[in-house]
Structure 1
C-alpha cells in the first residue's frame, strides 16, 4: 500500500488521536511539496522525535527519515490525484521543451566537470535505476567504452560485486530516479565509504539522500520531477532529461577526444 493511502486510513480511522494529527500534518504538507525534517515537525506538533519514529514504524519504516524520503519519491513517481490538485495541466496541446527545463549555464558547467572526471578515469561503472532508458544509457556506455573502459551491467548482483574491484583512479556513475533504489543506495554507500570518485544524476526527491552523504554537490546533476504532470508524462520527462544530459555529455567528451 502506498504511503499516502496509509496516511489517509489513519486520518479516517483514528480521528482526533495523536496519530491522526501527525498523519494529517504530513499528508497536507506533502501535497503542497513541503517536507519537514524530523526536528521541525516535532517542534510544530509539540511532540518528541521518538514519537515521530514510533509513528513511522507503525507504517513499516525504520524511522521518519526513511518514511519521508519514500513519500517524496512516491509523490514524484505517482503524482497527486487529479481530484486533489486543480493545478494539473489540462492543455493537451502544450509542447514540452526539454532544454527549457535546465539552467543552460549551470548545466554546461556541470557537464564540463563530468567530462573532466570521466576523461581522467581508468574505468567507469554506470549504475542506473529500473525506470531509466536502458538502450540510451547502453548506447552512451558503448560510445564511452571506445575510449575508456566502461561497464554497464543492468544486474544488481554483478554491480555490487564489480564495484568492490574499483580503485581510486576509477569512477562510479549513478543515475537515480523512481522508487526501487535500495540496492543502488547500498552501492552508493560503498562508494562513499571507500572514497571512490562518483558522479550522480538524480531527481529532486533523491537529492537530499546524496547530499547528506556528499557535502560537495559539484558532482551531482539534478533533474526536475515536475509534479504538475501525470505519472506517464513525468516518467518520460525524467528519461528525456537524462537522455538530454547524456547526449550533451557524449558531445563534449567526443569533441575533446577528436579535437
Structure 2
C-alpha cells in the first residue's frame, strides 16, 4: 500500500538505530507541521550532517534526491489539509453523495473521448503512462490491470527511467499523461519532449491543468461537480472510476 511521506518519516523517527536519520526525519516532520518547504542547507544544520548524507537519505527511501523529497512534502502539506475537516452531519453526507454522483456523471458526459482512448489502447503496440505524485498508485494499478488483460503497459515509479520511453515512443504506441495537483512541472517537461515525437497522446487532468497541454489526441477532465474542501481521496476515487471504466470496456 502506498504510504504518504509523513507516514514514512514517522516510521523513520521511531527507529533509533540511525540517529542521523532520526534528526533528518524530525526536521522534515517539523516542516510538514509548520507548512514550510524543506531546504537542504537548513536540514544539514538542524541534523548536524552533510548535504550528501541528506541526499543519500532521500535516495534510500525512494526519491531521486532531496529536491524530489521536498516537492513531495510540499504537495502533501498543501494538498492534504486535514485541519479543514469537521464532523459531517446527515445533511452534509447527503450533499457529499450528490457531489460524487454528479462528478461521476460529469465523467460519463465525456464518453466519446473515453471511447477514443479505449480504441487507441486496443490498437497500441505499447501503452506508456507518466503520472503526477498524487496519482502514482492509481496509475500503477491501471497499468497492471492492462498487463493482466494482455496489453503491453509500462509505468515507472522511478521517474528518471521515463526518459527512455520518450526516446522510444512511436505513433504505434499510446501515451497517457496524468496531471493533477502541484507537482506537474516534471510531467509537463516530459510532455513537451513527447509531443515532438508522437500525436498519440491522451491527457487525464483537472480543469486547472488543461491550459498546459496544446497537442493531444484527447483530453479528459476529472473534477468535483461543485468546488469545496474535500480529501484528495475523493478525487482519487473519481480517477479510479474512470480508469476502471476504461479497463472494463477493453
Tell me the residue number matched to 1:236: 233
Count the aligned residue pairs. Answer: 168
Residues 171 and 196 in structure 1, CA contact (< 8 A), matched pair in contact too: no
Tell me the residue number matched to 1:250: 247
Residues 124 and 172 in structure 1, CA contact (< 8 A), matched pair in contact too: yes
Residues 136 and 157 in structure 2, CA contact (< 8 A), matched pair in contact too: no
Match of 2:112 among 101, 109, 112: 109
* Deviation at residue 139 of structure 1 after TM alignment: 2.4
Residues 179 and 204 in structure 2, CA contact (< 8 A), matched pair in contact too: yes
Separation (CA, whole Å) in 2 of partners of 1:161 and 1:252: 30
Tell me the residue number matched to 2:97: 96
* Deviation at residue 219 of structure 1 after TM alignment: 0.9
Of structures 1 and 2, the one with the larger relative CO (CA 8 A, separation 6+) is 1
Tell me the residue number matched to 2:124: 121
Q: What TM-score, normalized to structure 1?
A: 0.56
Closer/same/farther in 2, CA of residues 105 and 223 from structure 1, 3 Å limit: closer
Separation (CA, whole Å) in 2 of partners of 1:124 and 1:182: 22
Tell me the residue number matched to 2:172: 169
Structure 2 gaps, min length 5:
1-74
SS in 2 for 1:132: helix
Structure 1 gaps, min length 5:
1-72, 83-88, 254-259
Separation (CA, whole Å) in 1 of partners of 2:118 and 2:191: 20
The CA deviation string for residues 184-225 of structure 1, in whole angstroms up to 9 with x for no partner, is 101111121122411111001101111xx22x6x61110115
Separation (CA, whole Å) in 2 of partners of 1:225 and 1:190: 30
